[in-house]
A and B are shown apart, each in its own frame.
Chain A
Amino acid sequence: MSCGNPAVEGTDAVMQRKPKYDKSRICVKCKENLGKIVVRHAVYCKDCFFPFMSFKFRRSLEPFVNAKPDGPRKTALKPTGDILVGFSGGLGSSVLLDLIHRSYVSPNLVQTNPEGGRDHPRKDRVWKNVNICYVEVSDAFTQMKDNTEDIRHSIERYKGLEFTPLRAQDAFDPSWWAKTDREFDLSHMGVDLTSEDLLLSSISQGSSPKDSLRKYLSSLPTDTARSTALQTITRLLIYHTAHRLGCSHIVLGTCLTSLAVSLISSISQGGGFHVKEEIQEEWAPHSTQEVKSTRSHTNDIRIIRPLRDVGMKECAAWAWWNRVTVVGRESWEWTGSKPGIGKLTKDFIFGLEKDYPSTVSTIVRTCGKLAPKGEVSGQCLLCSRPIQQGVQEWKTRISIRSHNTDDSTPSDSVATALTPYLCYTCHTTLTSRSPRTAQDNPTNVPLPMWATSTHTTSFTSDALGVNKDDDIEVFVGKRTTEEQMHNIVKGFLLDE
């Protein structure tokens, strides 16, 4: 039996659905045409939607093209190097590539700009070379289609671009690392994931890069960790490739909706210190030491997300109306796994955007105002993001990290422990608790080349931010036993 009032139940009791747009169906810009799309409660016609998208794209990119970033400028755009588009085949990066091509590559630019002569400097291409980098991740999974050829085919319509396909396992391939023009070291290091200190040891070179990638991912404790690690590998492969190609800028197709997902997901995984980097960052391809000594590097690479003000819906409309081919990305599903934090966050944000379209924008804007507390003590060896000073000591204080009462301290193993050189997120990714079965043996787990190479060549001095010739002063948190404490204060104790 219903508790409601039968007199008002039925069709009359249904609340009138509120329209998803304000005011009328007329375009809010031109106030003439009938609207075609609703963008966060505002109605736009097609004629106004396209310039509106282009404007938002340029507004998020152009103030950061010149080495000295400032507000919107009318002076010429003069980047110090080329540009690399991180391309996944997904909706955002497909739209981004289309916008980059229309705005900076298309040969029609000369005809459409009436100002100046044919050879006027204003009509020079902003970036001499536009590179596209795609990282194929199918080898990380057992049944995923290799999309490299589909991607190559989809970008053929854009002329004048350089395509660089990579594979996720390149991160474990010494021959790829040798090409990145970095200090090359052939010694291979593996990490023991069973200890919180993440002890390093030499491992044999027997396994192929693909096997190493799979071992690395399968050794991680949770599905969330696997997805995060693969994302980090993809991101760093793109960064190192951009450095090799002489790029000063990397653009990624993260739109407003995806940015909200990655921000919330990152914060949920302990990445609160990296909120700013998640939105925009300057990556120093060199060591922590150099980064600390001078903040303004001419060869730093600026990573920009020019679609950060454009929602997923606007991207979809742009792609549809401009016939942009979207190859699509398969979701990262690990065999027999439950959805990780990333997948759950994505579902939540997409649902939120449908019901409350403005809230997603609020998430990004609020995160943009956050300023992480604490000093930076270096650059994480795995993800290249800043390490918060004293984060390991803090973690030791607030968490139970071992079931046994063994008081082994990290002091014995400081020379071979990876933990002090990882950010909080990466350390949690490698060590978070899980229902890992007993037969798993996550020891001698291979690491990406950038982590081990830095470690073996200039590990101690670089990561600690001191000169190699200087004496190294290392501070280590050490837990004191009850007996040791008693010995320290025993001179002051009164006899019972």
Chain B
Amino acid sequence: MSLTIKIEFGGGLELLFSNQKSHKIEVPSKIPARERSESERAVDLQYLIFWLRDNLLKERVELFIENGTVRPGILVLVNDTDWELEGEGEYQLKDGDEIVFISTLHGG
């Protein structure tokens, strides 16, 4: 079972992802347990960020991820809504979600 997610990059962030602004990806609906004590859990935005790093990111990881989340200066929208309203990395992904990453690092 997997979820189809639409990913968009803006503000120059697409340069890190093969200069392609829009991607359609499939991620597993459950994150497999890493240890016996853990149970399977629904896939969340935090997982997606690392999935993008491992599967789509082409260069300069430090411009996308810092301290286990997206770098300060990157705005994330979940279905057109600020991810701070959706619980940031804890937001549980749903099939058909649209996640947008916009870099604000290109100044004035």
Contacts and interface: CB of A to CB of B under 8 A. Distances in A.
B72 interface: yes
A253 B108 contact: yes
B75 A317 contact: yes
Contact of A91 (B11, B15, B77, B80): B11
Q: What band does the interface of chain B fall in when counting residues whose beta carbon is under 8 Å from A?
A: 20 to 34
Given A88-B107, A312-B104, A315-B104, A328 B11 contact: yes
A108 to B, nearest CB: 25
A38 interface: yes
Contacts, number: 91
Interface stretch (A17-25, A239-247, A386-394): A17-25
Contacts of B90: 17
Nearest to B108: A92
Q: How large is the interface on A (under 10, 10 to 19, 20 to 34, 35 or more residues)?
A: 35 or more
A21 B85 CA distance: 7
B45 interface: no
B84 interface: yes
A313 B82 CA distance: 10
Nearest to B82: A37
B105 interface: yes
B85 A320 contact: no
B81 interface: yes
Contact of B108 (A19, A91, A316, A347): A91
Contacts of A355: 72
Interface string A67-95: 00000000000000000000011111100
A20 B83 CA distance: 10
Interface of B: 10-12, 15, 72-73, 75, 77, 80-82, 84-85, 87-88, 90, 100, 102-108
14 contacts: A20-B88, A35-B81, A38-B85, A91-B108, A93-B108, A252-B108, A312-B104, A313-B104, A315-B104, A329-B106, A329-B107, A346-B107, A350-B105, A354-B73
Interface of A: 17, 19-21, 25, 34-38, 43, 88-93, 252-255, 257-258, 307, 312-313, 315-317, 319-320, 326, 328-329, 346-347, 350-351, 353-355
What 8 pairs across the A-B complex have the smallest Cβ distances? A92-B108, A328-B12, A354-B72, A20-B84, A312-B104, A253-B108, A350-B72, A258-B108
